[in-house]
Amino acid sequence: MDAVEFLKEWDRMCKSNEKCKECDGYKLCTSEEGICSNCEELVKAVENWSKTNPVIILTEQQKTAIRGRIAEGFPWLVREGNEYDRVWFFENEPKLKKSGGIYTDGGQCSDVVSKVYDFVTFENSPLYLPDLLGGEE
């Protein structure tokens, strides 16, 4: 990751966290000594965040499928972390179970096996579908 890419990803990481204290870079990005108290650790935190939070560019087919799921009342999307490779849609924000790599507690749910949702991974789950559309619902 070059310097410009790092700064762009750091900015994207910062803007994605509503609460600074929950950010992986908290206490690394600002200090009394300057902008970076531990630059090596900050670079690692930004790189790790960037890998698990890729920029998602959707096709028109994916946008249409997402709009349909939102209309059905399932705005949350996750991919299972097991061998079944299914994506699940939930009506409420799902929580990860402590074992098994499975999400639950999201109320009603629906599953599907489809290449349309290839952008979702276990690592970037859960995704809130309206956020992916960026206000163009």
Tens digit of each residue's pLDDT, the chain (137 residues): 777 788 788 777 777 776 666 676 666 666 555 566 677 888 888 888 888 777 888 899 999 999 999 999 999 998 877 666 688 899 988 887 766 667 777 677 777 777 888 888 888 888 899 988 876 65
pTM of the model: 0.64
Task: Identify the burial level of 111 via C-beta atoms within 10 angstroms of its C-beta, where 0-12 means exposed, 13-18 middle and 19 or more buried.
Answer: exposed
Task: Identify the burial level of 35 via C-beta atoms within 10 angstroms of its C-beta, where 0-12 means exposed, 13-18 middle and 19 or more buried.
Answer: exposed
**Listed residue (32, 16, 34, 133) closest to 77, CA to CA:** 133
Q: Which two tokens stand for residue 60?
A: 């028109």
